[in-house]
Amino acid sequence: MNKRINAYIFAIAIAAAFAACSGNRQQNTERSNITSTQESEIDTAQGFSPPPIIDLFQYNTDYNYSFMEDFRIWGWSRDGRVAYSVTGRDGGITSLYFNIVDYFSPDSHSVSYWENFDDFNVDEDGYYLDVDGNRIDFNEIYRDFHTVCNENGIEFIQSDFRRPPIIHNNRTFNVNLVLSKQEMDDIDIVESYRLIAETQGTRSDSFQPDRFVYTAEDGYAYDVFLLGYFLSPFENRALLSMGKIIFGGYITDFFVGLDLDNGFTATTETAHHSEEDTYVISVSHAPDNIAGDYHTFTDEYPYERIIISTAERVENFAYVEIYPFVDPNDELFLIIGDTLFGLDDFTPDKPLVVTTSIGSGIPSRGICFIYHGSARYFFITESGMDGSLQLSEFTPLGDTMQ
């Protein structure tokens, strides 16, 4: 498509998005982290304080905004696990995300949970309040995670965040990132990427390889980049910090583990919503026979049937058109078009069956809805690996919820 977009069409698209999902999505810009008042009052009298905040983007010159903020390394285990916390903000909700993950074993079970806070439920002094109007004790929340770390063999040792190349045990690992892109509607999308770690210097074991390669498919980002790394204090292992910019202008961070003797293993991404929050609505290919009652809608190019279900009641649900938009700086964003099908209340007892065509290219269809007072936007896409349908969250251009 042409990179220029008609201003009239753009205005209509933004207006349609506002009508489709009305709600409050104002970002709270008065607090850069968990309210400065409360953050400064974390109790150290009992020998406890949260770890320092680490700026994962400090070595990056292209992007200086992360969707996740206040990243903290809590500690490391002797069997390849790392504990961290991060703060995410979206739609008037601040989420404290805690995770203990084995970033070398893709089948391992991580320990993760969320604490969510309403950015608008604060008192006159800027303190977050719970549903009963009491001030939230962040000391207790941090101490709880400290206890969880203890129970999972985490030792509270800090590791410096460093700029590549990786230098360890008289070896230097030069880490390079190679992107494979494909053009979709005049937009270059990252189809896959490869991390290549090549070693040089003195090696104690002559059989150690000179080159490690990690390959991953993507399809949802138009840039992926290396941010820096941490060294585990217990093993010859590094935790690479990566970033990506995805549809809607979000910049997210994720991690890739590198065993300095055996190569790459697993990858894990941070998230800002609890699993039940993010995936309260699901989408899949519809079976031939569907039991019970359901809504129906026939879209343009009706080649396949999909079913959209919700695990909880949500408000102002809309099945919508989505368009890509490239700004003068070649930044890719998504905008919301017409509402194709809408419901005031979308409930678990009655799913929506849509006859449409999704495809695995640039998103053209999505959903939006109000959940727990916040507007949420997802585009629908088909995996190029197994053909399954997926929902990916994004922020529409124009901040339509204001």
Model pLDDT for residues 279-302, shown as the tens digit of each residue = 589 898 888 887 789 999 999 888
Of the candidates 375, 381, 367, which has an alpha carbon nearest to the alpha carbon of residue 321?
Answer: 367
Which sequence spans correspond to the domains of the chain?
7-24+274-393, 36-151, 166-269
In this prediction, residue 12 has a pLDDT band, given cuts at 50, 70 and 90, of: very low
Asked if 152 and 101 count as a contact pair (C-beta separation under 8 A), the reply is: no
Of the two residues 265 and 259, the one the predictor is more confident about is 259
Task: Taking residues 18-45, report their average pLDDT.
Answer: 40
Using alpha carbons, select from 367, 278, 374 the residue that is nearest to residue 322. Answer: 367
pLDDT-based confidence at residue 381 (cuts at 50, 70, 90): confident
β 171-184/166-168 pair status: antiparallel
pLDDT in tens, 79-92: 889 999 988 776 67
377 C-beta neighbours (distance < 10 Å), count: 28
Torsion angle in degrees (nearest 10) through CA of 61, 65, 70, 76:
-50
Tally Cβ neighbours within 10 Å of residue 320.
Answer: 23
- Per-residue pLDDT at 271: 40
394 pLDDT more than 50:
yes
Q: Is the pLDDT of residue 277 over 70?
A: no
State mean pLDDT over 104-120: 76
Angle at 372 between CA 371 and CA 373, to 5 degrees: 90
Give the pLDDT confidence of 191-249 residue by residue, as tens digits: 888 899 988 654 544 445 578 888 887 777 888 999 999 999 998 899 999 988 877 66
Q: Give mean pLDDT, residues 336-350.
A: 93
Would you state the pLDDT for residue 340? 95
How many Cβ atoms sit within 10 Å of the Cβ of residue 374?
20
Q: How far is CA 88 from the centre of its chain?
A: 9
The pLDDT of residue 356: 92
Residue with token string 């009052």 = 41
**Residue 174 banded pLDDT, cuts 50, 70, 90:** very high
Mean pLDDT of 175-203: 80
Mean per-residue pLDDT, 161-189: 87
Q: For residue 191, give the nearest of 143, 224, 152, 144 by alpha carbon.
A: 224
Is pLDDT of 164 > 70?
Answer: yes
What is the reported pLDDT for 7?
29
**pLDDT confidence of residue 302:** 84
- Farthest CA pair distance, the chain: 68
Give yes or no for a contact between 105 and 82, defined as CB atoms under 8 angstroms apart: no
* pLDDT reported for residue 270: 46
388 has a pLDDT exceeding 90: no
In percent, how much of the chain has pLDDT > 90? 27
* % residues pLDDT > 70 (the chain): 73
Confidence of residue 36 (pLDDT cuts 50, 70, 90): very low
Per-residue three-class SS string for the chain: CCCCCCHHHHHHHHHHHHHHCCCCCCCCCCCCCCCHHHHCCCCCCCCCCCCCCECCCCCCCCCCCCCEEEEEEEEECCCCEEEEEEEEEECCEEEEEEEEEECCCCCCCCEEEEEEEECCCECCCCCEECCCCCECCHHHHHHHHHHHHHHCCCECCCCCCECCCEEECCEEEEEEEEEEEEEECCEEEEEEEEEEEEEEECCCCCCCCCEEEEEEEEEEEEEEEEEEEEECCCCCEEEEEEEEEEHHHCEEEEEEEEECCCEEEEEEECCCCCHHHHCCEEEEECCCCCCCCCEEEECCCCCEEEEEEECCCEEEEEEEEEEEEECCCCCEEEEEEEEEEEEEEECCCCCEEEEECCCCCCCCEEEEEEECCEEEEEEEEECCCCCCEEEEECCCCCCCCC
Q: Is the separation of the CB atoms in 172 and 200 below 8 Å?
A: yes
